[in-house]
Amino acid sequence: MKDSIYSGMMVDVPGNRIFPGEITVSGGVIDNIREIPEKQASDQYIIPGLVDAHVHIESSMVLPSRFAQMAVTHGTVATVSDPHEIANVLGMKGVEFMIRNGKMVPFKFFFGAPSCVPATPFETSGAALSPEDIEKLLKRPDVKYLAEMMNFPGVLAREKQVMDKIRAAKKYNKPVDGHAPGLKGDQAKKYIQAGITTDHECFQPEEALDKLRAGMTVQIREGSAAKNFDTLIHLLDSYPENIMFCSDDKHPHDLVEGHMNSLVKRALKYGYDLITALKPCTMNPVKHYNLEVGLLQKNDPADFIIIDHPEKFNVLQTVIDGSVVARNGKSFMEAGDDNAPNRFVKPNLKIESLQVKAVKEKIRVIDAFDGELVTGDSRLKALIREGMVVSDTSRDILKIVVVNRYKNSKPAIGFIRNMGLKKGAMASTVAHDSHNIIAVGTSDDCIFRAIDMIAEEMGGVAYCNSTEKMIIPLPVAGIMSTQSVKDMARAYVKIDRLVKKNGSTLKAPFMTLSFMALLVIPSLKISDKGLFDGNDFVFTTLFEE
């Protein structure tokens, strides 16, 4: 293979310097780097390839190979990926599917072993991963870490199964990702002392500082639903070596617009110099997870991107292992085709099973917050019609339903505020973490029809009212499509606009809905088994006691 030579302003993040230089790439590796007179260097900047430090590829609703096609156009060369979502549907088979599909493209997917499948014992998932399964995964050189330990109560209580999984990670010298929203003080210290090294769930500076001071690395998250960048970015002032950038969950239309490059741009606008802005998505994740990703050093893998200038940060080329995989917004990757594994039992649902008999006047209501995964817990007067509690669009209190997709059982029913719908219902099988069917709507009839649309396709996202309906099928585990990111983005934007036209004011209504069954995030949530108090980690009742 002929050597390739690139010149420009070299951004040496580990060396903390920028200089005019020339690199020679041979056999996928940086063979040589030399400093040259500035007048001889090309008018461009060469920087290490970008890394997303924590992402669930499944939330983009496309296959890993499809995700990679779009990500490289934004300068991303690698992701630290938690296949937790598909594992909750398909178990080991799902994890192996993600790894296999990721290897079909020249992109650097670094998958973890999902630590919490099922996420809690308070929901029905399609599979379970035992400590033995986790150890089997961690033995693999291509599995880089123990993925987010969401069962923080189990860590604090030093439960055997939880600690067995952490011990397996330590045995193979692999880091353990955390997930402990709101945990501070002595409890945070105890959680960290168990061996947890990161957390991406901090939503207040005080909480993040507490964890940083205790030795944890904080991942600043900016995804489609949870947006913590502006709140936490100033932590970079004092902890530049202990901050990483991540997306966590990125819907397809947002991925079309940008990825980690958008976070670097925002950090630059906050006044950070280029090297400081790059550390959280280059050097820090590479060193923390021991990733085989180049940092623009001699003998490193030739993983780098070329930008026009830091002020514009337009990605001109993306290079992985010496091969140009994207240029000027065009990807040269061919996505890997694969089968579409799934696990879905069509629910035997009747519209009468969605009714709620009024027992008392007041009910507990989930408060959804735009751009947050945490929810509130309100006690409000119910709207009662003919002895039944019904949706109240005048106060934006709507019925929310979770239906088990793995076996037939009675649906769980609650009420939620701030979804904003004035007409119709929306439903989805993208419902963290077990991915049962979750639906919210203004009437039982619309909710029933939206669920039925999902059941017919055995997974997807759907909206319907009396005159309109739309569904995006998700044949892969009920959470992903085989389509391209751009095709999915077009469909997603269309259904998103339909929901917003019918009243929702949320930035990402389907993403927000998907987290209403995420029991490990406070305060009030709902699973297929019932209404759940995420503070006390117990089931609760709909009617105020």
Q: What percentage of the chain has pLDDT greater than the value 70?
A: 99
Domains and CATH numbers, the chain: 50-292 (3.20.20.140), 351-539 (no CATH)
- Size of the chain in residues: 545
How far apart are alpha carbons 104 and 324 in whole angstroms? 16
- Degrees, nearest 5: CA angle 224-227-229: 130
Which residues does 237 contact at the CB level (< 8 Å), separation at least 6?
none
Task: Report yes or no: 474 and 481 within 8 Å, Cβ to Cβ.
Answer: yes
For residues 318, 322, 323, 325, the Cα torsion angle rounded to the nearest 10 degrees is -20
Which tokens in the block code for residue 342?
Answer: 């799934």
Contact 503, 421 (CB under 8 A): yes
- The pLDDT of residue 224: 82
pLDDT at 335: 85
Check: CB of residue 28 under 8 Å from CB of residue 292. no
Per-residue pLDDT of the chain (545 residues; tens, 9 = 90+): 578 999 999 999 999 999 999 999 999 999 999 999 988 888 899 999 999 999 999 999 999 999 999 999 999 999 999 999 999 999 999 999 999 999 999 999 999 999 999 988 999 999 999 999 999 999 999 999 999 999 898 999 999 999 999 999 999 999 999 999 989 999 999 999 999 999 999 989 999 999 999 999 999 999 987 889 999 999 999 999 999 999 999 999 999 999 999 999 999 999 999 999 999 999 999 999 999 999 999 999 999 999 999 999 999 999 999 999 999 999 999 887 667 899 999 999 999 999 999 999 999 999 999 878 889 999 999 999 999 999 999 999 999 999 999 999 999 999 999 999 999 999 999 999 999 999 999 999 999 999 999 999 999 999 999 999 999 999 999 999 999 999 999 999 999 999 999 999 999 899 899 999 999 889 999 999 999 999 898 999 999 76
Model pLDDT, residue 100: 95
β 243-246/304-307 pair status: unpaired
Predicted local confidence at residue 1, as pLDDT: 56
User: 262-308 pLDDT, tens per residue?
Assistant: 999 999 999 999 999 999 999 999 999 999 999 999 999 999 999 99
The pLDDT of residue 356 = 97
* 168-209 per-position pLDDT tens digit: 999 999 999 999 998 999 999 999 999 999 999 998 999 999
